[in-house]
Structure 1
Amino acid sequence: MKLSSPVHQLKRQAKLTARESGMPLHAALDQLAQQEGYSSWSHLSVSGSRSGRAQKCLRQLDGGDLVLIAARPGQGKTLFGLELAIQASRAGGESYFFTLEYTPADVLKRVSQLGYNPAEMRDAFHLDCSDEICASYIINELRDAPHKTLVVIDYLQLLDQKRQNPELSSQLNVLKEFARKTGIIIALISQVQRDFDLASKSLPDLSDIRLPNPVDLTVFTKSCFLHSGEIAFEMAN
């Protein structure tokens, strides 16, 4: 949901309200957040930050990109992918969220966590939780999708979980070629190896991606890594 003012300006308004009314600052912040449609200030500030990061990321994506979004569990990669799809649809484009991990109810719950009302989601946001999701299934569903449609796939390591599906590397090459030909943007959410938790670096990179089968990760044109509230957006070499 769109804020009436940037987060820092809203915080300034709350401080002024607290000073003039004598109410505690936390109460003034929560009151203002509720006026903006959020349950609390913490909900507003987190959602506002994530929304801003998603919008910044979207501005760096081009038609035909194959994008990797990677993080350890609990770092918000699914919420970030959802935010990307929602922001793309709110900006007037089409977006799809394909997931082999969650049910429709699970996804809609996360949409609510982002501060959006699932009942008011625009028709331009498409959710697909089919058990048949793989590269060929996705391409078939996108046959009428316009140029620069944003597609988020949750998640990379599940695409070849069924034996009848092609190996992961083959599916990625097919998706990349489809994106190149159509100008559609495809982003895949990915797991990061557990070993990263013991690493000294602050953010994971391509060497930390969990791969049950060999995959040439240079297939991705861009990548986005998240950890502890930090985010790094990288172009392909």
Structure 2
Amino acid sequence: MRFSAPIFRLKRQARLLARRQGIPLNQALDRVASEEGFRSWSHLASTCSEQRASDRILGKLSAGDLLLLGARPGHGKTLLGLELAASARDLGRTGIFFTLNDNERDVLDRLATIGAERKRGSAFVIVDTSDEICADYVIARLGKTEDDALAVIDHLQLLDQRRSTPDLATQIRALKSYAEASGAIVVTISQIDRGFELTGKRVPDVSDVRLPNPLDLTVFDKTCFLHAGEVLLETAA
């Protein structure tokens, strides 16, 4: 069955509806599903036969990988990052979502849209919203996990904003070295330059990544770019 919009856009519609009308997110999700002709959001989700993008990506990640995940605003990169963190337990890993972009309530709302609400005291998804997030902070936090970690950092460009931290290239190299040594998987969400929308390309690529300062993107083992529901995962050159 075809939907009126990609799943990530339907989830976004529900989140905006919940905020606009002051109703619980699960009610907003059910309302959006009803408009699509389903009994509930769970009915819609169970009817969608397409394998989740996060499952496809997880199946191609290996210990020590550094993944760049990029998209323009509103195209689902943060939700996909959360899905990866929430699914880390399927790989026997601890999923940790570091964000310098959203507050904890925003993150929990987004987790609810993918049916992965964080339970208090559990490691279903560890959410870290510290203002101190940088490569050294992430590495120290990952070193405290009992299991191998899958870390998602939201987002790449914000790592480069504080003068007290090393430059972005140094931080990314440190994350790569740590991932290789520890077997962790590190995903960095990235902004895409607005000029991409004038290129005529269906999906962004590394040339469209917005970089405030120079960064050799070949340090990433894999890249994943999203646009209008299309997902392109590639091994970096």
Partner of 2:216: 216
Deviations 1:54-103 (A, max 9, x none): 01100100000110000001101000000011011255421110000011
Shift of residue 156 of structure 1? 0.1
Whether contact under 8 Å (1:63, 1:184) holds in the other structure is yes
Instruction: State the partner residue of 2:29.
Output: none
1:146 and 1:184 in contact (8 A); partners too: no
AA matched with 2:214: P
For structure 1, the residue ranges without an aligned partner over 5 or more in a row are: 1-25
- C-alpha separation between the residues in 2 aligned to 1:149 and 1:92? 9
- Higher radius of gyration, 1 or 2: 1
Task: Tell me by how many angstroms 1:211 deviates.
Answer: 0.3
Q: Deviations over 1:13-43 (max 9, x none)?
A: xxxxxxxxxxxxx699522x46xxx3x73x6
| Cα pair 1:89 1:122 within 8 Å, conserved | no
1:102 and 1:137 mapped to 2: Cα distance? 17
**Counterpart-to-counterpart distance in 1, 2:117 and 2:162:** 34
Distance (Å, rounded) in 2 between the aligned partners of 1:85 and 1:45: 23
Determine the structure 2 residue equivalent to 1:84.
84
Alpha-carbon distance between aligned partners in 1 of 2:189 and 2:212, rounded to the nearest angstrom? 15
Paired letter, 1:173: R
Q: How far 1:122 moved relative to its partner? A: 4.5
In 1, are the aligned partners of 2:157 and 2:211 still within 8 Å (CA)? Answer: yes
1:52 maps to which residue?
Answer: 52
CA deviations 1:184-215 (Å, max 9, x no partner) are 00000000000001111100000000001011
Give the Å deviation of 1:144: 3.0
Cα distance in 1, alignment partners of residues 58 and 230 from structure 2: 17
| Other-structure match for 2:139 | 139
Select the residue among 25, 30, 40 that pairs with 2:38: 30
Change (3 A) 1:219 1:59: same
Partners of 1:146 and 1:61 lie apart in 2 by: 20
TM-score (normalised: structure 2): 0.79
Cα distance, 1:69–1:27 mapped onto 2, change above 3 Å: closer
Partner of 1:117 in structure 2? Answer: 117
Question: 2: CA distance between counterparts of 1:122 and 1:87?
Answer: 14
Aligned to 1:150: 150
Cα separation, partners in 2 of 1:27 and 1:175, compared to 1, 3 Å: closer
Q: CA RMSD in A?
A: 2.3
Distance 1:121 1:83 in 2: 19
Match of 1:226 in 2: 226
Corresponding position of 1:196: 196
Q: SS at 1:61's partner residue?
A: coil
Aligned mates of 2:207, 2:52 — CA distance in 1: 27
Instruction: Give structure 2 stretches of 5+ with no counterpart.
Output: 1-33
| Post-superposition CA distance 1:122-157 (Å, at most 9, x none) | 524211000000000111111133564211000000
Distance change >3 Å, CA 169–CA 139, structure 1 → 2:
same
C-alpha distance in structure 2 between counterparts of 1:117 and 1:133, whole Å: 23
SS in 2 for 1:159: helix
Identity %: 44
Aligned equivalents of 1:149, 1:222: Cα separation in 2: 17
Distance 1:102 1:89 in 2: 23
